[in-house]
């Protein structure tokens, strides 16, 4: 138990544990942080199988003979009850739950006789139903929520109550983080170089042609806007570029490298950073943990070092935490450093998401409606931060946005989608005068 406890603690404190929690929260979000989703799922299966193997060896040695009858429905259900009531992801909760449901019944029968036999099954079933209905995270979730309420009550202003949240606060300056030393050096990209080339990309979902031979180019040092009416296929094209949906035709290149068949996590590692419409963060993790997660590719230590807590893992984790702390300070989020992201307001979550995107200095920053959910004042201030990404941080930006005043304010050029096809591309003035664009947004005049 001590060995398993130690290994599991090392996993949860390392890049492996953060990656697994990100995969659990959202596989597309995990892939955007350059996490190999399939590999980490396989790792979880192998590690849990190893734990089960060790347990089985000890159990077999203890009972002498093992057969299918040793593992009837009561024993199997008991394991589920222990984990669910103790709390998924909580080592102390599961150990305490195991004592209550395995050892305590024997102790009570010894003290008070056979009349108590079987009551543990009834109480276990009742506890399981209550946990699933009211607290899916088990006893650990109850303790965590109470601690959060106490912490919120001790602060001058709560971060929990939505009515107390301030979404009008300006978007702070984004952290100007250099590329992590652990990552391979990338030469500076001269202005005007084609960073992203999307050539006649098509995406089909059954009978629906979501993207129809769409082409666009994004050059270094630019903010390029991708606009269009609702349902035009903008986010689908974004997902195709980042590898989250398969394409049925076309080619995608990043800085001259064909990434058309590359896995999503490899595209992220190659220099694509993106945000999502619905906030691309692991919301059960804290602000600091999400900033650590964003540096997944910089955590260059082996799985063995992570499991055993030896070698480079400690030093690298300290370096990553220092970078995350610097980012928290730059965002002005010191107060929320250990707060789960889900407890922040929508606007604050957007700020953390933008901070995560720039942590590893990607060559291309892809922003999917960054002003969604922001107040008008915050959205207006966002324009300054978008220009900072280009001018201060030296990043190239591809932007999906429905806020046309924001688009016209910050973009160097525009590409317009309608019904999955590009209907206009060029400077803002050229696109604004294009009759097809006007008709796509406002509709054609009805002849009288």
28: tokens are 């597309």
Residue 10 CB neighbour total at 10 angstroms: 18
H helical segments located in 185-251: 234-242
List strands edge to edge, sheet with 194-205. 208-219, 194-205, 249-254, 257-258
Q: Give the residue, 140 or 10, on which the prediction is more confident.
A: 10
Q: Give the residue, 13 or 136, on which the prediction is more confident.
A: 13
Which pLDDT does position 316 carry in this prediction? 92
Asked if 385 and 365 count as a contact pair (C-beta separation under 8 A), the reply is no
Of the pLDDT bands very low, low, confident and very high (cuts 50, 70, 90), residue 156 is very low
pLDDT > 70? residue 251: yes
Of all residues in the chain, what percent are helix, strand and coil, respectively (each to 5)?
A: 55, 15, 30
Asked if 237 and 211 count as a contact pair (C-beta separation under 8 A), the reply is yes
Q: Which of 2-11, 85-94, 204-213 has the lowest mean pLDDT?
A: 85-94
Of the pLDDT bands very low, low, confident and very high (cuts 50, 70, 90), residue 155 is low
Which pLDDT does position 161 carry in this prediction? 45
For residue range 174-232, list pLDDT tens digits in order. Answer: 877 777 777 777 777 888 899 999 999 999 998 899 999 999 999 999 999 999 888 88
Q: Which residue has tokens 């190999």?
A: 36
pLDDT > 90? residue 259: yes
Apex 210 CA angle, 205 and 213, nearest 5: 115
Mean pLDDT of 89-116: 83
Q: Give the residue, 278 or 165, on which the prediction is more confident.
A: 278
Which pLDDT does position 442 carry in this prediction? 58
For residue range 396-447, list pLDDT tens digits in order. Answer: 999 998 888 888 889 999 999 988 999 989 888 888 888 888 777 656 654 5
46: tokens are 């192998």
Of the pLDDT bands very low, low, confident and very high (cuts 50, 70, 90), residue 121 is confident
Distance CA 169, CA 223 (A): 24
Mean pLDDT of 240-250: 94
Asked if 426 and 438 count as a contact pair (C-beta separation under 8 A), the reply is no
107: tokens are 């102790």
Which pLDDT does position 82 carry in this prediction? 86
Residue 123 CB neighbour total at 10 angstroms: 15
Which pLDDT does position 200 carry in this prediction? 94
Specify which residues 209 forms β-bridges with.
Answer: 204
C-alpha dihedral (353, 153, 86, 30), degrees to nearest 10 = 0
For residue 43, the Cα-to-chain-centroid distance in whole angstroms is 19
Of the pLDDT bands very low, low, confident and very high (cuts 50, 70, 90), residue 165 is very low
In 82-207, DSSP assigns E strands to: 194-205
Of the pLDDT bands very low, low, confident and very high (cuts 50, 70, 90), residue 353 is very high
Of the pLDDT bands very low, low, confident and very high (cuts 50, 70, 90), residue 166 is very low
Q: Give the residue, 378 or 95, on which the prediction is more confident.
A: 95
Query: Regarding beta strands 194-205 and 208-219, do their DSSP bridges make them parallel or antiparallel, or are they unpaired?
Result: antiparallel
Kindly list the distances between the CA atom of residue 122 and the CA atoms of 55, 184, 224, 263, in Å, as whole numbers in the listed order.
Answer: 26, 58, 62, 48
Which pLDDT does position 102 carry in this prediction? 84
Indicate the SS3 state at residue 224: strand
Indicate the SS3 state at residue 255: coil
**In this structure, what are the phi and psi dihedrals at residue 212, rounded to the nearest 5 degrees?**
-120, 95
Helices (H) and strands (E) in the chain, counts: 19, 10
Which pLDDT does position 448 carry in this prediction? 54
In 255-294, DSSP assigns E strands to: 257-258, 272-274
Residue partners of 213: CB distance under 8 A and separation at least 6: 200, 201, 202, 249, 250, 421
Return mean pLDDT, the chain.
85
């Amino acid at each position: 138990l001590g060995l398993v406890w130690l290994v599991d603690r090392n996993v949860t404190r390392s890049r492996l544990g953060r990656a697994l929690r990100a995969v659990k929260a959202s596989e597309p979000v995990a892939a955007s942080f350059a996490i190999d989703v399939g590999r980490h799922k396989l790792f979880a299966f192998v590690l849990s199988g190893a734990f089960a193997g060790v347990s089985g060896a000890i159990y077999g040695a203890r009972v002498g003979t093992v057969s299918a009858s040793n593992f009837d429905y009561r024993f199997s259900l008991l394991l589920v009850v222990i984990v669910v009531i103790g709390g998924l992801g909580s080592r102390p909760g599961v150990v305490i739950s195991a004592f209550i449901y395995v050892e305590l019944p024997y102790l009570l029968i010894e003290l008070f006789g056979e009349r108590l036999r079987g009551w543990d099954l009834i109480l276990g079933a009742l506890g399981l139903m209550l946990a699933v209905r009211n607290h899916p995270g088990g006893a650990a979730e109850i303790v965590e929520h109470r601690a959060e309420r106490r912490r919120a009550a001790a602060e001058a202003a709560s971060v929990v109550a939505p009515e107390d949240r301030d979404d009008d606060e300006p978007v702070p300056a984004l952290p100007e983080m250099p590329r992590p030393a652990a990552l391979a050096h990338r030469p500076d990209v001269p202005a005007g170089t084609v960073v992203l080339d999307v050539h006649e990309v098509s995406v089909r979902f059954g009978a629906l042609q979501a993207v129809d031979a769409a082409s666009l180019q994004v050059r270094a040092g630019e903010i390029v806007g991708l606009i269009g009416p609702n349902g035009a296929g903008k986010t689908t094209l974004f997902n195709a570029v980042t590898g989250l949906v398969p394409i049925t035709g076309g080619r995608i290149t990043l800085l001259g490298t064909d990434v058309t068949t590359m896995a999503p996590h490899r595209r992220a590692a190659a220099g694509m950073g993106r945000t999502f419409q619905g906030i691309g963060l692991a919301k059960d993790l804290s602000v600091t943990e999400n900033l650590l997660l964003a540096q997944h590719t910089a955590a260059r230590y082996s799985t063995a070092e992570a499991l055993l807590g030896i070698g480079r893992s400690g030093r690298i984790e300290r370096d990553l935490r220092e970078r995350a702390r610097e980012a928290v300070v730059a965002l002005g989020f010191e107060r929320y450093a250990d707060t789960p992201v889900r407890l922040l307001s929508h606007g604050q979550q957007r700020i953390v998401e933008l901070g995560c995107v720039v942590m590893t200095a990607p060559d291309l920053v892809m922003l999917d409606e960054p002003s969604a959910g922001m107040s008008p004042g915050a959205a207006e201030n966002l324009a300054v931060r978008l220009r900072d990404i280009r001018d201060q941080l030296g990043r190239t930006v591809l932007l999906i946005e429905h806020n046309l005043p924001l688009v016209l304010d910050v973009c160097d050029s525009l590409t317009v989608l309608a019904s999955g096809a590009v209907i206009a591309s060029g400077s803002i003035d050229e696109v604004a005068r294009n009759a097809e664009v006007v008709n796509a947004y406002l509709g054609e005049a009805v002849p009288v």
